[in-house]
Amino acid sequence: MVTLTIDGKEVKVPQGTTILAAARTAGIRIPTLCYHGRLDPIGSCRMCVVEIEGIAHPMAACTTPVEEGIAVISNSDRIQRIREDSLKLILVNHPLDCPICDKGGECLLQDLVYEFGIDKVEYQAPKPARESLYATPLIRYWPDRCVMCLRCVTACREIKGIGAIEIKGEGYGSQVVVIDAEKCQSCGECLSVCPTGALTENLSRFKGRPWLVERVPTTCTYCGCGCQLELNVQNNRVIGVTTQEGKGVNLGSLCVKGRFGYEFIGSDERLTTPLIKKDGEFKEASWEEALTLVAERFGAIKEEFGPDAIGGLSSARCTNEENYLFQKFMRGVIGTNNVDHCARL
């Protein structure tokens, strides 16, 4: 264990802990923007710089491991100036389109600018000529809103192991671009870690403000993995899917289906009752009617042609338990081994 002090308070943490993590253990808040709990520290925003007694240079708390006996000062006039300058420089060209930004109300940049009370920016630079070089039918990139914190780039590489996006160019003209469009699976990991409205979901634009939706925790129905997600519900309509960092077996990650494939829930084309074909036409029926019919027909077919005339095909969208029960039903009740699973096709 390493012992240090932060703002005079003694903290003991394991060797290799960063100053930021040590401060959080001690309940001391150090502001961050690019830091994300699931990613290796990036160190692009410089909001978390702190002073250390006897060390000339301010150090970034997120990337600096603790050392025995150091005395960290989490805030000072100097640190405050650096943090303010970091935010002010972002604001030099950040559009103030918060009223129509999907992220308005849950934007980390908005929160920090509010916290630091920045009401004017004396710095100027022409708007960089950035093109929207990254977008899929499901993900929209707003280059003007991008602060280049690199969370998206890091998440694509570290969490998904894909590395489809990268920073290109130099200096002020650098921007986030797709380096390999083939690799991108539109999983949306990038937009889930974006602290601002630079990456948004194309499907739910203008459908509801973040603070107005009800977030209903549930399990994804697309496969047996059991990913935890939150349906964003407004007026009994699902308008988006979000996750909580680190929650569930998926730790907050989703695939393209889980994150974007929610529109079927409220689709007009969705079947809500069983249909029975009578005289060549499907007619709505009750569950009891339908199940009785199926049971009768199974019984009759089994009687006439034997149980092997019946086969069962189960779905990857069922859980393991449901699939187990299904094969049990086919073998024990129908009496056939003709059972398979769509994931094997």
Partner 1 sequence: MAEILFSSWGGEVVDNRSKEPQEYETASKVSLPEYFQQNEEIKALIGWYGIVLRTSEVNIVDLCRTYMEAIQEKSCGKCFLCRIGTKVIADTLGRMCRGKGRQADLEILARLAESISESSKCNIGQSGPLPLRHALEYFADDFALAANGGAAIPAGTYRSKLTAPCMDACPIHLDIPTYVECIKEGKFQESLDVIRERLPLPGVVGRVCVRPCEEHCRRTNLDEPISIKFLKRFVSDYELEKNKEPHYLVEAAEKTGSVAIVGAGPAGVTCAYHLARKGHQVTIYEKLGEPGGMSAVGIPDYRLPRQILRGEVEQVQKLGVTIHYDTQVGKDIKLSQLEADNDAVFIAHGAHLSSAMRVEGENDGYKGFITGVQYLLDINLGKDPYPEGKKVVVVGGGNVAIDCVRCSFRVNKPDVNLVYRRTRNEMPADEVEIHDAEEEKVVFHYLTQPIKVIAENGKVVGLQCIKMELGEPDESGRRRPVPVEGSEFIIDCDIVVPAIGQTIDLSMLEGIDKVETTRWNTIVVNEFTKQTENPKIFCAGDCQTSPGALITACAGGRTAAINIDKLINGLNLEAAEDDYFDKLFDVVKVYDPAEDIGFLGGRARYQLEMLPPDTRKWTFDEVEKGFSPQEAMAEADRCLRCYRVATIAVTEATS
Q: Which residues contact 160 (CB under 8 A, 6 or more apart)?
A: 185, 187, 189, 253
Report the nearest approach of partner 1 to the CB of residue 11 (Å). 15
78 binds partner 1 (CB under 8 A): yes
89 binds partner 1 (CB under 8 A): yes
Q: How far is CA 71 from the centre of its chain?
A: 36
Q: Applying CB under 8 A, which of residues 6, 11, 30, 90 lies at the interface with partner 1?
A: 90
Closest CA relative to residue 315, chosen from 304, 307, 325: 325
* Alpha helices, DSSP H, located in 181-273: 189-193, 256-260
60 binds partner 1 (CB under 8 A): yes
172 binds partner 1 (CB under 8 A): yes
* Alpha helices, DSSP H, located in 6-56: 19-25
170 binds partner 1 (CB under 8 A): yes
59 binds partner 1 (CB under 8 A): yes
129 binds partner 1 (CB under 8 A): no
Q: Applying CB under 8 A, which of residues 37, 95, 105, 169 lies at the interface with partner 1?
A: 169
Q: Applying CB under 8 A, which of residues 28, 108, 148, 156 lies at the interface with partner 1?
A: 148
Residues 87-90: contacts with CB under 8 Å, at least 24 apart: 87/47, 87/112, 87/113, 87/116, 87/118, 88/118, 88/121, 88/122, 88/123, 89/123, 90/147
Report the nearest approach of partner 1 to the CB of residue 8 (Å). 18
110 binds partner 1 (CB under 8 A): no
Angle at which helix 77-91 crosses helix 108-115, to 10 degrees, equals 130
Report the nearest approach of partner 1 to the CB of residue 202 (Å). 26
123 binds partner 1 (CB under 8 A): yes
Cα torsion for 118, 123, 129, 134, to the nearest 10°? -30
The residue among 58 and 307 lying less far from partner 1, judged by its C-beta, is 58
* Residues near partner 1, by CB under 8 A: 43-46, 49, 52, 55-60, 64-65, 67, 70, 78, 81-82, 85-86, 89-90, 92-93, 122-126, 147-148, 150, 157-158, 163, 167, 169-172, 174-175
